[in-house]
Amino acid sequence: MSQTGIVIEAARAKINLALHVTGQRADGYHLLDSLVTFADFGDELALRPSAQDRFEITGRFAETLSADADNLVTRARDGLRALAEELGYETCPVDITLTKSLPLSSGIGGGSADAAATLRGLMRLWKLDVPRDRLAELCLSLGADVPMCLASSPLIARGIGEDIEPLATLPSFFILLVNPLKPVSTPQIFRLLTSKTNGPVHPFDPAQADWLDYLGCLRNDLQEPAQRLLADIGECLQQLEESGAEVCRMSGSGATCFGLYRDEMTLERAALTLEQAKPQWYVRAGRTLEGNAP
């Protein structure tokens, strides 16, 4: 915490480098095997003690989101406060500002990352030590991607996303995200899946391949149904491929697609070309986090 009592938390974009659908639970949720990393950019949360609870949204995509009781930030705050009070902690009112730089409903976990960053920030602000199982339960009640966004470092996610294994060996990649700025509905994409029992992600073997070659052999099982629903996704993937990306894939349930590049110069050239060719799209270049990053 700074001297002024402000806590800043990054809500990094979540990237599903691979997402294999391996089954379905009786309640309808799908079982996944997903290789996940995080970008070095995303939304940002600023939290500070206040006389009363306040929540404000600023930034490029602020207008597309309302700061009401349904917002994942508000729900995370209220959920954590209830849990803290049950555990005997005192909590003060908070003023939260969300800088919304990631597009909404776009497969890169924006809302989930915001919820997770709210939890991390409030645990620092309120000085909470919450038992892991209670925190995990709260995260999952907010959304299947919230547990992985709480970790916010490279990992393998299984179950419906709650079974998390850190992936310390994952290197950093040069990444370009593109989104046609048309939201897609996650439940609808899952409903359009034709096969729900696909093979898991096979482990990486450094003797056999480098990371980019390995990732190229994996897939996102939600990509084909998403492309059927929104043809722009095919166009995003084609543009990425033509821009020199080694791996082109959709993240989560879309519509954001990513390209991974061997070097920074190709990435920068690709970003410039796409920004000029598609000014109406979201285009963002950066790096992904390394597995052993602090």
The residues carrying an active-site annotation are: 14, 145
- CA nearest to 47, candidates 74, 18, 86, 24: 74
CA distance 212 to 204: 11
Kindly write out the interface string for residues 144-163 of this chain, putting x where it contacts ligand C5P by CB under 6 A and - elsewhere.
xx--------------xx--
32 binds ligand C5P (CB under 6 A): yes
Q: Does 192 bind ligand C5P (CB under 6 A)?
A: no
Minimum CB separation of residue 191 from ligand C5P in Å reads 8
Indicate which single residue of 2, 63, 69, 187 sits in contact with ligand C5P (rule: CB under 6 A): 187
E-assigned strand segments in the chain = 7-24, 30-49, 54-58, 94-99, 155-158, 163-166, 174-179, 247-250, 257-261, 282-287
136 binds ligand C5P (CB under 6 A): no
Cis check: omega of the bond before 271, within 30 degrees of 0: no
Residue 35 binds to ligand C5P (criterion: CB under 6 A): no
Q: How far apart are CA 18 and CA 139, in angstroms?
A: 22
The whole-angstrom separation of Cα 135 and Cα 226 is 32
Minimum distance, C-beta of residue 162 to ligand C5P, in the bound complex (Å): 9
Contacts from 207-212 at CB under 8 Å and sequence distance 24+?
Answer: 211/170, 211/171, 211/173, 212/173, 212/246, 212/247, 212/260, 212/262
- Based on CB atoms, which residue is closest to ligand C5P, 187 or 206? 187
Binding of residue 20 to ligand C5P (CB under 6 A):
no
Nearer Cβ to ligand C5P (29/211): 29
Pick the closer one to ligand C5P by CB: 67 or 192: 192
Task: State yes or no: residue 33 binds ligand C5P (CB under 6 A).
Answer: no
Distance of CA 43 to the CA centre of its chain: 10
Residue 92 near residue 49, CB atoms below 8 Å: yes
Instruction: Report the amino acid identity of residue 44.
Output: E
Q: For ligand C5P, give the closer residue by CB, 109 or 180.
A: 109
Among 79, 107, 121, 143, interactor with ligand C5P by CB under 6 A:
143
Q: Does 29 bind ligand C5P (CB under 6 A)?
A: yes
Stretch touching ligand C5P by CB under 6 A, among 163-171, 185-193, 203-211, 261-269: 185-193
Residues 6+ apart with CB under 8 A from 168: 154, 291, 292
- Provide the minimum distance between the beta carbon of 54 and ligand C5P in the complex, in angstroms, as a whole number: 25
- Is-contact 12 113, C-beta < 8 A? yes
Check binding of 30 to ligand C5P (CB under 6 A): yes
* Closest CA relative to residue 7, chosen from 149, 122, 129: 122
Size of the site for ligand C5P (CB under 6 A): 11
Residues lying near ligand C5P in the complex (CB under 6 A) = 29-30, 32, 143-145, 160-161, 186-187, 190
Residues of each annotated binding site for ATP? 103-113
